[in-house]
Amino acid sequence: MSQEAELIAEIQGGNVQAEEEFVNRYRRGILMILRRSYEAVGAAEDLCQDTLRIALDSIRRGEIIDPDRLSGFVCGIARNLALNYARRAARRETSTDDSELYSLSPVSPPAQLDELLRAEQIRAVRRVLEELPGDRDRELLYRFYIAEEDKESICRDLDLTSLHFNRVLFRARERYRQLYEKYLRRK
Amino acid sequence: MDHREIEDRNIPDLYLMNKLSNEARLQFEEHFISCPECLSRLEMTEGLRTALKNELMARPLTTIHSTGRSPFRTYGFALAAAAILISLGLLAALAFRTWSEEQRESAELRNRLGVATASLEQERNKSAQLNAQLAALAQQQGTVPVFPLVITRGGSDTPGSTLNSIVLPQAGWMIFLLELPDVPRIESYKAVVRDSKGILVSDISGLKSTSRDTLAISVLSSLFVPGDFVISLEGLTSGRYTLLGKYSFHVLR
């Protein structure tokens, strides 16, 4: 029996811990998918809760026929909710109802904590850039992550192998993670 | 989809840049939704990319503060310049009306006009200096210079009226970071660069932005010579391109 099949059986048997495990396993991934949707990004937390609720209800009712497709099933719910949210938002944007228009305006100023985190991100990334061994690695980061150029053309221009390219990205990510997590622990 | 393939092909990076095919995107989402390793990789990459962009956007302020100048920013300068231009217009109109009747007053107005013109020139020079410092800073921190460009507002995209000045790097690539207007559901962007005579310098289409407020485009510095240029940014929606904004800039050697 696969892990998914076991989890489904436990949830159908009324095991609350299994439901918690399901939520812990899928929550981060659902949020990642929802945050990629331009229109739904502001409602990602709410849509994530809805996705989990709908998925759990379906499991309890025994609607999952193939347990190996559980991840695909959860993804599908998240995508559909994001799509429906976007359609509703588009309809509201063309509406003349003032109350609906006001409900769409996300104009709250950035919170102080967000500003502090942003400042720390900038400090951390400056340190990462300073610590890179050469200009070529910095150029690689800018061209790949900011200008979003293709890996092949960057490798060709900078005379790099695919392995070296991946190594630079890996080191930069890891160093950034260390610095940023260190800051969060201090706080 | 296994982790070796995911790493070798930089799939998390391509996913975050919206560069995966639809099929590959769906496949990867079904994998990472319950994969803590890939989720950590995605979150860290997302964090690093956001931090790199924020760091670039923060550079002009850092430059200004470190030189001890008054903290005016590009928008502040735009407002100041607009106010001065309006003042110039009013003063000129007033001077014309009273010319024949009040010579003394007219002379005074001309004097004030001269002061305002000098002030505008001074502000322009300050802006050029700040952008030169920004370019220098960009060159110090990375090999690829990055130039944030703001939308040219109020139809002042004629040569000589630009608020964006850039110092041309000696060779290689440079990146323009364009301020994006708040227009939702753009499928892709097209950037057309023309010189002051309207001659096409570069035409880049199929651009995607993963940020809500900026779009990065990379261009070869050898395409540019000192002078005035305008980037017209168009957005593709429902199969049609519409103009989103113009970014005029002056290139210095």
Summarised one tens digit per residue, pLDDT across range B54-83 is: 888 776 543 333 333 333 344 444 444 555
List CB contacts of B32: < 8 A, sequence separation 6 or more.
Answer: A29, A32, B12, B38, B39, B42
Segment A24-30 long-range contacts (CB within 8 Å, at least 24 positions apart): A25/B34, A26/A52, A26/A55, A26/A71, A26/A74, A26/B33, A26/B34, A27/A52, A28/B36, A28/B39, A28/B43, A29/A74, A29/B29, A29/B32, A29/B33, A29/B34, A29/B35, A29/B39, A30/A74, A30/A78, A30/B33
Please give the Cα distance from A2 to A69 (Å, whole number): 11
Q: Which of A29-33, A100-104, A156-160 has the highest mean pLDDT?
A: A29-33
Cβ-Cβ contacts under 8 Å, B47 against chain A: 121, 176-177, 180
Closest CA to B160 of B115, B203, B130, B121: B121
Summarised one tens digit per residue, pLDDT across range B10-55 is: 999 999 998 999 999 999 999 999 999 999 999 989 888 888 888 8
- State the smallest CA–CA distance between residue B142 and chain A in angstroms: 6
ipTM of the complex: 0.84
- State the smallest CA–CA distance between residue A139 and chain B in angstroms: 5
Of A120 and B32, the structure prediction assigns the larger pLDDT to B32
Instruction: Round the average pLDDT of chain A to a whole number and report it.
Output: 84
A163 to chain B: closest CA residue? B8
Give the whole-number percent of chain A exceeding pLDDT 70.
89
Predicted local confidence at residue B89, as pLDDT: 63
What pTM does this model have? 0.60
Q: Under an 8 A CB cutoff, do B143 and A136 touch?
A: yes
**How many CB atoms sit inside 10 A of residue B86's CB?**
10
**A19-28, A148-157, B33-42, B218-227: least confident range:** B218-227
Question: Of A28, A121, A157, which is closest to B51 when you measure between CB atoms?
Answer: A121
pLDDT exceeds cutoff 80 at A84? yes
Predicted local confidence at residue B10, as pLDDT: 92
**How many CB atoms sit inside 10 A of residue B144's CB?**
23
Predicted local confidence at residue B52, as pLDDT: 87
Predicted local confidence at residue A91, as pLDDT: 72
Please give the Cα distance from B12 to B18 (Å, whole number): 10
B140 to chain A: closest CA residue? A135
Q: In what order do the strands lie in the sheet with B173-179?
A: B146-149, B173-179, B214-220
A162 contacts A155 by C-beta, under 8 angstroms: yes
pLDDT exceeds cutoff 80 at A164? yes
Summarised one tens digit per residue, pLDDT across range B222-239 is: 888 888 899 999 998 888
Cβ-Cβ contacts under 8 Å, A71 against chain B: 30-31, 33-34
Q: Under an 8 A CB cutoff, do A138 and B55 touch?
A: no
Of A99 and B54, the structure prediction assigns the larger pLDDT to B54
- Name the pairing type of β-strands B240-252 and B164-167: parallel
Q: Under an 8 A CB cutoff, do A75 and B173 touch?
A: no
Q: Which two tokens stand for residue B118?
A: 């000098």
Predicted local confidence at residue A48, as pLDDT: 95
Q: What is residue B194's DSSP assignment?
A: E
Predicted local confidence at residue A17, as pLDDT: 94
**B45-49, B79-83, B124-128, B249-253: least confident range:** B79-83
**A152-161, B68-77, B180-189: least confident range:** B68-77
Of A13 and B169, the structure prediction assigns the larger pLDDT to A13
